[in-house]
């Protein structure tokens, strides 16, 4: 009876050890290292969704104005109202209202509108706004994914920080050129082609904002705005700013592109070649055909890249010229292909660790862990003699179990995680110590070794549980609070503590029982 | 070896003196952290940018400071990092007004202007990535692979492999200091079954080295780590950190209340608050940086402190059941003596591992392991001299027996 229980428990322990070893080894392959150890880039980005909503409202204002003109309503003004509203003024009652109703119905179904005295107020319902924000984040997520995929980073992890959040977490292991990746991800890449008005035939811009205004005798027409561009020297260094008057309406935007790729221009200068979708190609052909001789400004993120003169009609193929380097052309093509970001992106947090730094951390962690392990083993052997071996076996198994659990749950080992394992080595013996001390006490009280062991385990159990639950509570809050690396610590600490209860209560007990069962009568226990 | 056997130390006898000492420590801690403002708050909570830069030669810290100030980077903290001779420096700059994205670019530009002055090579092998290096090599084709129009892809794959071999050297050392390291870069495998490119190994041929010497430079520094925390994120982390510490204290109180009695919970809570504040004070006075990992250490300290206390209380409860009529003071003394071996042993092993981390675990974990080392010592002390006396105090003030006695005394006085 007794022997059978010993055997069963032995088999269970052997199975656990085998499974753990199978799961954990070889460590190099089975344990996933965090970015702080293997090197990589961790970014928390925030999508400025307000931008996307603003852009939508501005676009709608243009739309209403345009359609009102088509409907033959002269003198209509559209202004931004309070919150997410547009004030439309100068609309005659009756007929005008009907026209606005048609426009709203046909083109702006998501907006609600109402006449308030002389004004007609368009309002974007809150539901629509939150949906718009949500879409902006989803679109940004998709765009960033595309860009990272095309750039060729292995095992990227790009995800939203919880549903409904406007934050995106990007984790890229093993990045060699973080500066470039950072630019690539954050580049809004909003491309537009617009006709220039000053200088009308494109080419170089004017030297100052005032010069553009002067060309219009001081007042800008309502359909024109002034945009800046960089002046560069032959080495491509920025040496100044130039100014253009351009139409507010864009002929085509980045969304109309079917493809974009780097290429070489006539002077073997780097350019971006693009092709347009069929529908956009028609539109582009129409406008370019009608405006031969005028300048066509190529605008990226609201800056004029170049403003070549239209030599003839362009249909569905074209090139973007500017003072580009090869790298810029490659990245611009990539961002254009992956689509524009719907809104500006701000990096709230960045942690980039070079592989050399990570490797140092691993080495230092290993050294510290080894020293801690050896010291604890020595302490156990000195204090508990032969019984100390029992604790050492439990401790070794404990460490294996921690690695096995990490591998099994696919958890990430971080630098604080390593610290957690090392700390666990010191703390895990606590459960053994509690039991051993209790056994000693019982021996002093005159019990036989066998009954001392029984009593020791029985009495120490409640202390073991209480002591470990408190540490678990701390680990739990740590996990809740923590980001990446800290979570790694909470995880190893938690696993280590749970494993230590198992090894101290189950494994160590079995070893005691095994030792005792070998001899008929045990006179002394080396403890 | 038995550390203690049948000891009979009257721990509680001197409790008043120890509490005075604790109060002094607490006052010093609170003063240094909250009044004196000594706590060195890291960028995790304050926001800011921290760059780890490896230089080819030892950069004088004073020079760096002057350089950064000249570039408009104010209040930078500069300290050497890692082992001596590695020429690694930590540059910490505070948050820029109105910016979430920090001063990384400014710092890098300033360093570039100073340490890479006089080199106008377009490619920096200590800074650029695989694509850029490969691009230059494809253009110059030093290995003579492009003989026909169809060779471009194969050449690109080959030169990407070459670039990878060079980058491997950089990854290994953090910085390539000498051209000989480039020339002797071990070859890496290129091509695989999935592509139709010939599989093989790409290394740095003398011709490649020749071209790179012309087209590229070995920059004199390399940014091996960047941490930037915007002010918004810093504020959020600060809030979350404080909340985590407070909640875990409450969690401990509730658990002990549930498992034992309220008076023990109060004692344990007092002890862990004492530990946190004393440790924080010493931590601040010694100038360690308070950051995310430090919060982790403090939470662990709370866990450890309560862990130690709980084992003693467990014994108190057991002894109370064994001898219900004994005064609590006596029971406590007996329990402290009973558990003394365990307390010292577990504290000892935990201290050993924390100290291993402190001495060998590297700069990143130094503050963390320091908190743990102190935590073990203070936590052990407080289990004896804070937790137990407070439980006793609570008992004397609020227990039914104490109330009844006070009422009796009142009646007698009346």
pLDDT for B4-56, tens place per residue?
A: 777 788 887 888 888 888 889 888 888 888 877 778 888 888 889 999 999 98
Q: Is B225 a domain residue?
A: no
Residue span of the structural domain in which A54 resides:
49-127
Q: What is the per-residue pLDDT across A127-176, written as a single tens digit (0 to 9) for each?
A: 889 988 998 899 889 889 888 888 878 889 999 988 888 999 999 998 88
Q: Taking CB atoms and an 8 Å limit, are B226 and A352 in contact across chains? A: yes
Q: Is A523 a domain residue?
A: no
- Shared domain for B239 and B308, answered yes or no, is yes
- Shared domain for A408 and A291, answered yes or no, is no
Query: In CATH, what number is assigned to the domain containing residue B300?
Result: 1.20.1640.10
- ipTM (interface pTM): 0.86
Query: Do the bridges between strand B200-202 and strand B188-190 make them parallel or antiparallel, or are there none, so unpaired?
Result: antiparallel
Chain A residues touching B251 at Cβ < 8 A: 473-474, 476-477
Residues 209 to 228 of B: which have CB under 8 A from any A CB? Answer: 222-228
- Shared domain for B29 and B88, answered yes or no, is no
* Domain edge (last residue) among A308, A334, A350: A350
- Shared domain for A506 and A359, answered yes or no, is yes
Token pair 């350089």: residue = B67
Q: Is A112 a domain residue?
A: yes
- A10 CB-near residues (< 8 Å, 6+ apart): A510, A514
Token pair 């108190």: residue = B316
**Nearest of B127, B125, B120 to residue B137 by alpha carbon:** B125
- A16 CB-near residues (< 8 Å, 6+ apart): A401
- Shared domain for B110 and B142, answered yes or no, is no
CB proximity B38 to A under 8 Å: no
Q: Is B320 a domain residue?
A: yes
pTM for this model (two decimals): 0.82
- Shared domain for B134 and B273, answered yes or no, is no
Q: How many CA atoms lie within 13 A of B111 on its CB side?
A: 24
User: What are the structure tokens assigned to A275, written together?
Assistant: 């092709």
Confidence bin at B196 (pLDDT 50/70/90): very low
- Shared domain for B290 and B175, answered yes or no, is no
**Nearest of A33, A43, A41, A42 to residue A359 by alpha carbon:** A33
Chain B residues touching A469 at Cβ < 8 A: 255, 259
Q: Which residue of B has its CA nearest to A362?
A: B361
Sign of CA dihedral B317, B321, B322, B326: positive
- Shared domain for A397 and A322, answered yes or no, is no
> In Å, how far is B324's CA from the nearest CA of chain A?
18
- Shared domain for A358 and A389, answered yes or no, is yes
CA distances, A70 to each of A74, A86, B254 (Å): 9, 19, 71
Report how far residue A288's alpha carbon sits from residue A309's, in angstroms, rounded to the nearest whole number: 10
Residue span of the structural domain in which B238 resides:
11-42+230-413
**Looking at the DSSP assignment, which residues form a beta bridge with residue A225?**
A246
Overall number of domains in chain A = 3
CA distances, B232 to each of A48, B76, B249 (Å): 14, 20, 26
Residues 48 to 67 of B: which have CB under 8 A from any A CB? Answer: 52, 54
- Shared domain for B183 and B239, answered yes or no, is no
Report how far residue B262's alpha carbon sits from residue B251's, in angstroms, rounded to the nearest whole number: 13
CA distances, B238 to each of A346, A484, A509, B243 (Å): 20, 16, 45, 9
Report how far residue A493's alpha carbon sits from residue A231's, in angstroms, rounded to the nearest whole number: 57
- Shared domain for A236 and A262, answered yes or no, is yes
Phi and psi at residue A497, in whole multiples of 5°? -70, -45
Confidence bin at A1 (pLDDT 50/70/90): very low
* Domain edge (last residue) among A127, A155, A179: A127
pLDDT of residue A396: 92
CB proximity B337 to A under 8 Å: no
Report how far residue A447's alpha carbon sits from residue A440's, in angstroms, rounded to the nearest whole number: 10
Test mutation, A348, A378, A493, chain B, max B CBs within 10 A = A348
CB proximity B129 to A under 8 Å: yes
Q: Taking CB atoms and an 8 Å limit, are B352 and A426 in contact across chains? A: yes
Q: Is the pLDDT of residue B194 over 60?
A: no
Q: What is the per-residue pLDDT across A51-96, written as a single tens digit (0 to 9) for each?
A: 888 878 887 887 888 888 888 887 888 888 888 899 988 888 888 8
Report whether B375 contacts B390 (CB < 8 A). Answer: no
Residues 104 to 123 of B: which have CB under 8 A from any A CB? Answer: 108
Phi and psi at residue A9, in whole multiples of 5°? -65, -40
> In Å, how far is A342's CA from the nearest CA of chain B?
20
Q: Is B2 a domain residue?
A: no
Query: Do the bridges between strand A224-232 and strand A303-306 make them parallel or antiparallel, or are there none, so unpaired?
Result: parallel
CA distances, A265 to each of A202, A471, B138, B140 (Å): 19, 66, 18, 19
User: What are the structure tokens assigned to B297, written together?
Assistant: 């250490």
Nearest to A372 among B170, B230, B356 (CB): B356
Q: DSSP per residue over A180-214, as a string?
A: HHHHHHH----EEEEEEEETTT-SS-BSSHHHHHH
Phi and psi at residue A96, in whole multiples of 5°? -60, -45
Q: Is the pLDDT of residue A363 over 80?
A: yes
Chain A residues touching B240 at Cβ < 8 A: 481
Q: Which residue of B has its CA nearest to A381?
A: B1
Token pair 């088999």: residue = A11
pLDDT of residue B192: 52
CB proximity B45 to A under 8 Å: no
* Domain edge (last residue) among B93, B116, B139: B116
Mean pLDDT of A503-514: 90
Chain A residues touching B296 at Cβ < 8 A: 416, 478, 482, 486, 489-490
Q: Which residue of A has its CA nearest to B1?
A: A383
Q: Which of A131-140, A503-512, B195-204 has the lowest mean pLDDT?
A: B195-204
- Shared domain for B391 and B254, answered yes or no, is yes
Instruction: Name the residue with higher pLDDT: A527 or B62.
Output: B62
Q: Taking CB atoms and an 8 Å limit, are A372 and B233 in contact across chains? A: no
- Shared domain for A331 and A437, answered yes or no, is no
pLDDT of residue A435: 92
């Amino acid at each position: 009876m007794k022997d059978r229980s010993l055997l069963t428990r032995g088999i269970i322990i052997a199975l656990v050890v085998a499974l753990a070893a199978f799961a954990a080894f070889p460590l190099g392959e089975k344990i996933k290292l965090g970015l702080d150890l293997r090197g990589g880039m961790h970014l928390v980005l925030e999508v400025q969704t307000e931008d996307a909503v603003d852009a939508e409202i501005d676009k709608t204002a243009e739309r209403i104005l345009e359609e009102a003109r088509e409907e033959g309503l002269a003198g209509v003004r559209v202004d931004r109202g309070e919150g997410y509203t547009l004030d439309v003024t100068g609309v005659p009652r009756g007929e005008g209202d009907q026209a606005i109703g048609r426009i709203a119905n046909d083109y702006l179904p998501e907006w609600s509108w109402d006449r308030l005295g002389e004004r007609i107020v368009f309002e974007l319902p809150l539901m629509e706004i939150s949906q718009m924000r949500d879409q902006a984040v989803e679109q940004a997520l998709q765009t960033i994914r595309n860009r990272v995929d095309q750039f060729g980073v292995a095992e990227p992890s790009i995800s939203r920080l919880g549903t409904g959040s406007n934050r995106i977490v990007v984790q890229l292991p093993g990045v060699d050129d973080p500066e470039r990746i950072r630019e690539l991800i954050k580049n809004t890449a909003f491309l537009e082609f617009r006709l220039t008005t000053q200088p009308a035939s494109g080419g170089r811009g004017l030297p100052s904002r005032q010069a553009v205004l002067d060309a219009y005798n001081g007042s800008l027409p309502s359909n024109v705005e002034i945009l800046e561009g960089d002046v560069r020297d032959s080495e491509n260094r920025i040496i100044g700013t130039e100014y253009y008057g351009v139409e507010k309406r864009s002929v085509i935007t980045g969304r109309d592109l079917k493809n974009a790729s780097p290429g070489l221009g006539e002077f073997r200068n780097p350019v971006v070649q693009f092709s347009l979708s069929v529908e956009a190609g028609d539109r582009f052909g129409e406008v370019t055909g009608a405006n031969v001789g005028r300048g066509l400004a190529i605008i990226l993120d609201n800056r004029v890249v170049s403003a070549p003169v239209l030599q003839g009609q362009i249909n569905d193929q074209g090139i973007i010229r500017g003072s580009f380097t090869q790298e810029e052309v490659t990245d611009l093509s990539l961002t254009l292909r992956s689509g524009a970001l719907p809104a500006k992106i701000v990096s709230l947090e960045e942690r980039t660790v070079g592989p050399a730094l990570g490797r140092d951390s691993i080495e230092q962690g290993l050294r510290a862990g080894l020293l801690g392990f050896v010291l604890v083993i020595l302490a156990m052997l000195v204090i508990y003699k032969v019984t100390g071996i029992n604790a050492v076996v439990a401790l070794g198994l404990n460490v294996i179990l921690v690695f096995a659990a990490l591998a099994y749950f696919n958890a990430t080992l971080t630098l604080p995680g390593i610290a957690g394992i090392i700390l666990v080595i010191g703390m895990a013996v606590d459960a053994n110590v509690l039991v051993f001390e209790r056994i000693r006490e019982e021996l002093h009280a005159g019990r036989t070794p066998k009954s001392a062991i029984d009593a020791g385990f029985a009495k120490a159990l409640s202390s073991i549980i209480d002591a470990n639950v408190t540490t678990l509570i701390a680990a739990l809050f740590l996990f809740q609070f923590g980001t990446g690396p800290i979570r790694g610590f909470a995880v190893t600490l938690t696993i280590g503590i749970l494993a230590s209860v198992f090894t101290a209560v189950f494994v160590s007990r079995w070893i005691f029982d095994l030792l005792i069962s070998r001899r008929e009568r045990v006179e002394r226990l080396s403890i | 070896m038995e550390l203690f056997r049948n000891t009979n130390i009257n721990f509680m006898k001197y409790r008043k003196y120890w509490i005075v000492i604790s109060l002094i420590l607490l006052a010093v801690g609170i003063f240094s952290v909250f009044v004196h403002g000594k706590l060195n708050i890291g960028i995790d909570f304050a926001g800011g940018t921290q760059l780890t830069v490896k230089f080819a030669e030892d950069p004088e810290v004073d020079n760096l400071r002057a350089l950064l100030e000249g570039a408009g980077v104010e209040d930078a903290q500069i300290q050497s990092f890692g082992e001596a001779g590695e020429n690694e420096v930590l540059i910490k700059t505070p948050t820029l007004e109105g910016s979430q994205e920090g001063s990384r670019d400014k710092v890098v530009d300033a360093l570039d202007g100073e340490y890479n002055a006089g080199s106008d090579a377009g490619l920096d092998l200590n800074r650029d990535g695989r694509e850029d290096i490969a691009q230059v090599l494809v253009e110059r084709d030093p290995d003579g692979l492009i003989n026909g129009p169809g060779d471009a892809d194969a050449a690109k794959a080959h030169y990407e492999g070459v670039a990878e071999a060079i980058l491997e050297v950089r990854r290994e050392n953090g910085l390539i200091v000498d051209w000989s390291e480039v020339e002797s870069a071990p070859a890496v495998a290129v091509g695989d079954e999935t592509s139709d490119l010939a599989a093989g190994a790409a290394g740095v041929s003398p011709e490649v080295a020749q071209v790179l010497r012309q087209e590229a430079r070995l920059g004199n520094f390399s940014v091996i780590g960047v941490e930037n925390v915007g002010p918004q994120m810093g504020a959020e982390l600060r809030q979350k950190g404080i909340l985590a510490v407070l909640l875990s204290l409450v969690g401990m109180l509730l658990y002990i209340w549930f498992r034992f009695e309220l008076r023990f919970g109060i004692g344990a809570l007092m002890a862990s608050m004492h530990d946190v504040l004393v440790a924080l004070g010493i931590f601040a006075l010694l100038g360690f940086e308070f950051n995310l990992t430090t919060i982790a250490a403090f939470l662990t300290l709370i866990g450890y402190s309560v862990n130690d206390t709980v084992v003693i209380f467990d014994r108190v409860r057991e002894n109370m059941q064994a001898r219900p009529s004994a005064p609590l003071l006596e029971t406590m003394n007996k329990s402290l003596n009973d558990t003394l071996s365990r307390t010292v042993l577990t504290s000892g092993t935990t201290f050993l591992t924390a100290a291993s981390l402190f001495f060998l675990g590297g700069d990143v974990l130094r503050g963390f392991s320091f908190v743990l080392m102190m935590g073990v010592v203070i936590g052990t002390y407080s289990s004896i001299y804070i937790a137990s006396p407070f439980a006793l105090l609570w008992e004397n003030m609020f227990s039914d027996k104490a109330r009844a006695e006070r009422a009796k005394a009142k009646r007698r006085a009346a």
